[in-house]
């Protein structure tokens, strides 16, 4: 989501640190305090790792962080060099990339041989891209009876009067053909790999719609293993979001909400928290990260129980103390 103060905070928090500080912060995110070379579980297949385990979530957060790495058009060396740094993600390969009109990375599809996985990653709002801002500010809604929704999500009950945010839907439609073609080719190329969809902020809403679309197509649905959303804004009403969740598989969805992040509580006009999508909430603001498994989006013991005055922009681009902004790509190779 766009907000001038938020971007100012992000610049102060995430772009003013030295490489040693960035590396130390990343190292502190390990739950077992062991980040040494050869000890990170970057050779474990995705289907062998619990979906909601912090280490699995943080693996996906690393993929997400890399989409914000600074690079020029057609030069992705900043990202590809991350495969040499003994991260949780280990060695990976960029299969397909998509760019916005500013020639900045918009989405990418990566493969990871050691982890037998395909990962589709969606970028959140960029302050350099006016289209992102317009999407965020579009609070109008599309009813479930809209022709495009009938075409892309034919499994919905069109007798219901549920809706989706028009802005988020427009982002999904803009790249739908390119993303679908890329995923189709990759699934054929790697027939035994898990397929994972990941997104942050605006990209999380986009990722969720892509996952809902794939879930309605048998050849994609059978391969879709998980959906990870970080700081996802409210996508529509609860009926729409929960209908997609049921088709995707509720247990495949990991909706990560960080501390007192404001964005998961706002979205289109009359948008609501999903009733059946369980949060993975990071509740603390200081000390070791505390992860809490929540019971649906209305669980008052989790982020839904926070009062509006307690919500903030400051933790929107983090998972606990792990930064998902472009500074992550300045991390040093693992050094003890």
Domain assignments of the chain as residue spans, ordered by start = 4-330
Per-residue pLDDT at 11: 47
pTM of the model: 0.92
Displacement of CA 4 from its chain's centroid (Å)? 22
Say how many C-beta atoms besides its own lie within 10 A of residue 159's C-beta.
7
pLDDT above 90: percentage of residues in the chain: 57
Per-residue pLDDT at 15: 55
pLDDT above 70: percentage of residues in the chain: 91
- Report residue 130's pLDDT band, with 50, 70 and 90 as the boundaries: low
How is domain 4-330 classified at the CATH fold level?
A: Rossmann fold (3.40.50)
Instruction: Check residues 36 and 171 and name the one with the higher pLDDT.
Output: 171
Instruction: Check residues 84 and 131 and name the one with the higher pLDDT.
Output: 84
- Range 146-153 average pLDDT: 91
Are 328 and 26 within 8 A, CB to CB? yes
Token pair for 59: 């693996």
In the chain, DSSP assigns E strands to 93-99, 105-112, 117-122, 141-143, 163-165, 194-200, 224-230, 253-258, 279-282, 291-293, 318-319, 322-323
- Report residue 190's pLDDT band, with 50, 70 and 90 as the boundaries: very high
Q: What is the mean pLDDT of the chain?
A: 88
Whether pLDDT at 7 is above 50: no
Residue 199 phi/psi, 5° resolution?
Answer: -160, 155
Per-residue pLDDT at 2: 43
């Amino acid at each position: 989501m766009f907000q001038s103060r938020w971007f100012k905070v992000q610049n102060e928090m995430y772009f003013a640190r030295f490489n040693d500080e960035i590396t130390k912060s990343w190292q502190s995110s390990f739950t077992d305090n062991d980040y040494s070379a050869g000890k990170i579980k970057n050779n474990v297949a995705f289907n062998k790792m619990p979906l909601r385990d912090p280490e699995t979530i943080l693996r996906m957060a690393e993929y997400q962080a890399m989409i914000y790495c600074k690079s020029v058009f057609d030069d992705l060396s900043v990202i590809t060099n991350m495969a040499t740094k003994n991260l949780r993600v280990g060695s990976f390969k960029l299969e397909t990339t998509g760019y916005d009109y500013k020639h900045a990375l918009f989405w990418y599809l990566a493969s990871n041989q050691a982890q037998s996985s395909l990962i589709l990653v969606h970028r959140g709002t960029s302050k350099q891209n006016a289209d992102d801002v317009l999407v965020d500010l579009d609070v109008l809604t599309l009813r479930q009876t809209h022709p495009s929704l009938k075409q892309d999500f034919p499994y919905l009950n069109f007798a219901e009067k549920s809706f989706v945010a028009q802005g988020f839907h427009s982002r999904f439609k803009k790249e739908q053909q390119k993303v679908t073609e890329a995923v189709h080719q990759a699934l054929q190329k790697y027939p035994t790999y898990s397929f994972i969809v990941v997104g942050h902020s605006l990209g999380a809403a986009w990722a969720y719609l892509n996952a809902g679309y794939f879930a309605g197509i048998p050849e994609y649905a059978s391969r879709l293993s998980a959906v990870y959303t970080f700081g996802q804004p409210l996508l529509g009403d609860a009926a729409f979001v929960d209908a997609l969740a049921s088709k995707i598989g509720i247990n495949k969805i990991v909706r990560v909400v960080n501390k007192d992040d404001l964005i998961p509580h706002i979205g289109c006009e009359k948008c609501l928290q999903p009733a059946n999508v369980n949060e993975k909430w990071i509740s603390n603001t200081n000390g070791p990260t505390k992860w809490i498994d929540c019971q649906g989006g209305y669980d008052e013991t989790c982020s839904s129980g926070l009062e509006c005055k307690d919500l903030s922009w400051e933790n929107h681009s983090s998972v606990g103390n792990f930064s998902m902004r472009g500074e992550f790509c300045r991390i040093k190779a693992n050094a003890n």
